[in-house]
């Protein structure tokens, strides 16, 4: 009886390993892209994630020249924001206005930029009140 159970266990294990090691066949078809000009390229979209130590009511991200990359007012304050910016700036000016500035002696905001085809960039901003700080990107 034990031998039969061991043989069944090996058979089940072999079937599971076979399923896991077989190459996957992806049925997705390539999407045709229409190009209007010879050197036309899609604008580079950089996704970002902003993690906050407290709920914020307003967040804005600008480049060093003052051009607005992202801005949003929140009726229901948030502590985590995900979005996209259009281009990779040489620096980032982050402004965070907290819902309440009396609940903590220190506030922080962790900004993570994920440029396509490059390593992620991460920076932590901290302040005792609202954050208004600049980060020069490498």
Q: Where are the domains of the chain?
A: 46-136
Q: Say which range, 18-32, 88-102, 103-117, has the weakest mean pLDDT.
A: 18-32
Nearest to 113 by CA among 61, 53, 59: 61
User: So what's the pLDDT on residue 36?
Assistant: 54
DSSP, residue by residue, 102-125: SS-S-EEEEEEEE-TTS--EEEEE
Dihedral sign of CA atoms 121, 130, 78, 126 in order: positive
Q: Average pLDDT over the chain, rounded to whole?
A: 81
Is the model's pLDDT at 23 over the cut of 70?
no
**Tokens standing for residue 26:** 């992806």
Give mean pLDDT, residues 36-55: 73
Give mean pLDDT, residues 113-120: 88
78, 81, 104, 105 from 72: Cα distances, Å? 11, 10, 23, 25
Question: pLDDT band at residue 8, thresholds of 50, 70 and 90?
Answer: very high
Is the model's pLDDT at 131 over the cut of 70?
yes
Is the model's pLDDT at 89 over the cut of 50?
yes
Percent of the chain with pLDDT over 70: 82
């Amino acid at each position: 009886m034990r031998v039969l159970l061991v043989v069944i266990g090996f058979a089940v294990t072999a079937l599971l390993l076979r399923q896991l090691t077989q190459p996957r066949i992806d049925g997705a078809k390539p999407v045709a892209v229409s190009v209007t000009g010879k050197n036309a390229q899609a604008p580079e979209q950089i996704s970002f994630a902003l993690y906050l130590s407290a709920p914020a009511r307003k967040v804005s991200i600008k480049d060093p020249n003052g051009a607005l990359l992202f801005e949003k007012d929140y009726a229901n304050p948030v502590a985590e924001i995900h979005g996209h910016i259009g281009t990779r700036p040489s620096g980032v000016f982050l402004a965070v206005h907290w819902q309440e500035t009396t609940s903590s002696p220190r506030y922080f905001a962790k900004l993570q930029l994920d440029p396509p085809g490059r390593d992620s960039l991460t920076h932590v901003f901290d302040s005792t009140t609202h954050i208004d700080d600049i980060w020069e990107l490498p």
